Amino acid sequence: MKTEISDMNIRRNPQTPPLRWGHKTAGLEHRLSELLSWIRPAGQPYDDYLLEGVNPDEVLARWMLNDTSTITLQRARLLMIDERIAGGYIALSGTELRAGRQADLLDLARQIGEGSYAHLRARVDRVRELFAPIEDNDFTLTRLGLHPDHRGRGLCHTLIEDYLRRGRQGGFRRARVDVPETHRYALDLCRAYGFDTAYRGKSNDGKLRYLTMVRDLNDH
């Protein structure tokens, strides 16, 4: 049974704060620590698994400034409150996501060097079945979150509703998000917005379990 939004006991913000494109926000490259406060948690536990042995904040900060990354700020939609970054989301087309994953892995391989490349390759092989295959016409959330100071105010609804609206305007067929199986709040929130489980994936060692959740964007 789907969870209705009214059953989740989440307070909506009565006024929608301004939303801005990441690359149009002045000085964004100097606010990476502020961005990491929600981008980093939104990628766990997958990021911790993939980035084992390196400084994750350093790697993620570099990826945010890379136009081809899965977390590029060129595709960030930021929620601004009193000129502070309250949170946001990053969403990519299936084509962009496929290219972004390759770009991130190549960057990571360059950083760790040839001596550790075999370990990285083995790690990637273990998560090969973790996510459903990418479809070109999917509009996929790669990150969504809020700064700790702004959680518990219903602002996730503002972000999700904007994401779905932009997906429809962009002519995408489906909205998609990959959610950790243990993240009950995120799963309930997705189900409240009409997402259904399309795929259950796990790493070969069983340490990671994710659900690929989708909804038809033609269904309002």
Decide: helix, strand or coil at residue 22. Answer: helix
Which pLDDT band holds residue 4 (cuts at 50, 70, 90)? very low
The pLDDT of residue 68 is 94
pLDDT digits (tens, 9 = 90+) for 91-139: 999 999 999 999 999 999 998 887 778 888 999 999 999 999 999 999 9
pLDDT above 70: residue 7: no
pLDDT above 50: residue 1: no
pLDDT digits (tens, 9 = 90+) for 140-178: 999 999 999 898 888 999 999 999 999 999 999 999 999
Mention every residue, 6+ apart, whose C-beta is less than 8 A from residue 66. 72, 103, 107
pLDDT above 70: residue 67: yes
Proportion of the chain above pLDDT 90, given as a percent = 72
List phi, psi (to 5°) of 91.
-135, 140
Mention every residue, 6+ apart, whose C-beta is less than 8 A from residue 89. 76, 77, 141, 143, 144, 145, 159, 162, 163
Greatest extent of the chain over all pairs of C-alpha atoms, in Å: 54
pLDDT digits (tens, 9 = 90+) for 36-57: 999 999 999 999 999 998 999 9
Please tell me the CATH superfamily of domain 19-216, with its number.
Gcn5-related N-acetyltransferase (GNAT) (3.40.630.30)
pLDDT above 70: residue 3: no
